[in-house]
């Protein structure tokens, strides 16, 4: 596919093709483990994809075909988090997880090879996951001295159920693509050489749909789980729709024209 670079980064690729943005971790020598810089670059790319009104869907993936992401780079793990060039320890992947969930466009994880640890959680929080037949899924926290008790626990349990989520974390087993499909952890499994074509075809089908309907649905799925923050998202979309109406425009116009608003012609729906 003729991907075009949107912006150059050091640890990720950020490209677009026909309304699809692709954010790809580019550290295949480490199975695409992330550093604070990788995450900071992904965060910026996600925000650019959000602001770009020509982008309707985002693919999250890893380069090389052997790994989606193997979690935090353990070689830069310091006291209190993962350490970058500024020597400050960070757990900034948690902010990226929230961005993935709140961006009002579908995010699809395109998983080849390892999706492990904090890398597994990244695919879990995506709207959809498409796996190659070589994909392997699992958490490692209790083996390597870590845990993700946020979306990594509670949202995983919403996806695969409490028993399975506890098994995944307590045993730290690795699951193949078919097992992942069976437990509802991924939407589809395809041969590795068809992974990108299938993912793009899903993106193209999504891009044919009503963007506001998709936006409302994403915030509706979130609202049920995310409490006040989830309701804020859903309500923000209600405000967006209201602003598009003549009724709301009457209020704004009256203010600017320094007159009393006349809402009398608008129906009081039953």
Produce one character per residue of 216-249: b if its CB has 16 or more CB atoms within 10 Å, e if not.
Answer: bebbeebbeebeeebeebbeebeeeeeeeeeeee
Nearer to ligand 1HA, 94 or 181 (CB): 94
β-strands 136-138, 175-176 pairing: antiparallel
Q: Does 72 bind ligand 1HA (CB under 6 A)?
A: yes
Interface map 81-120 toward ligand 1HA (x if CB under 6 A): ----------x-xx-------------------x-xxx--
Phi then psi dihedrals of residue 152, to 5 deg: -60, -30
Q: C-beta of 185: minimal distance to ligand 1HA in Å?
A: 17
Q: Does 144 bind ligand 1HA (CB under 6 A)?
A: yes
- Binding segment for ligand 1HA (CB under 6 A), chosen from 51-59, 65-73, 100-108, 262-270, is 65-73
- Chain positions 21 to 50 lying near ligand 1HA, rule: CB under 6 A, are 30-31, 33
Nearer to ligand 1HA, 9 or 151 (CB): 151
DSSP strand E in 117-248: where? Answer: 128-132, 136-138, 175-176, 188-190
> DSSP assignment of 102-115, as one string?
HSSS-EEEEE-SEE
Distance between alpha carbon 208 and the CA centroid of its chain, in Å?
20
Name the residues that contact ligand 1HA, by CB under 6 A: 30-31, 33, 70-75, 91, 93-94, 114, 116-118, 140-141, 144, 146, 148
């Amino acid at each position: 596919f003729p991907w075009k670079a949107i912006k150059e980064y050091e640890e990720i690729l950020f490209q677009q093709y026909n309304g699809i943005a692709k954010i790809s971790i580019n550290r295949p020598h480490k199975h695409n483990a992330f550093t604070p810089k990788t995450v900071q670059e992904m965060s910026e790319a996600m925000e650019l994809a959000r602001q770009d009104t020509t982008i309707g869907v985002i693919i999250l993936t890893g380069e090389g075909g052997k790994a989606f992401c193997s979690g935090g780079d353990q070689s830069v793990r310091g006291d209190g988090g993962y350490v970058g060039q500024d020597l400050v320890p960070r757990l900034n992947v948690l902010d990226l997880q929230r961005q993935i969930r709140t961006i009002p466009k579908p995010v699809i994880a395109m998983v080849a090879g390892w999706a492990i640890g904090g890398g597994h959680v990244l695919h879990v929080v995506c709207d959809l996951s498409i796996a190659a037949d070589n994909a392997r899924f699992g958490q490692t926290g209790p083996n390597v001295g870590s845990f993700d008790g946020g979306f990594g626990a509670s949202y995983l349990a919403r996806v695969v159920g409490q028993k399975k989520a506890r098994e995944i974390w307590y045993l730290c087993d690795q699951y193949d693509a078919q097992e992942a499909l069976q437990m509802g952890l991924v939407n589809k499994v395809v041969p590795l050489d068809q992974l990108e074509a299938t993912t793009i075809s899903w993106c193209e089908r999504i891009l044919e749909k009503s963007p506001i309907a998709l936006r409302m649905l994403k915030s509706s799925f979130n609202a049920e789980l995310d409490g006040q923050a989830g309701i804020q998202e859903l309500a923000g979309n209600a405000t967006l729709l209201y602003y598009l109406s003549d009724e709301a425009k009457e209020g704004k116009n009256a203010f600017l024209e320094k007159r009393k608003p006349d809402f009398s012609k608008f129906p009081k729906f039953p």
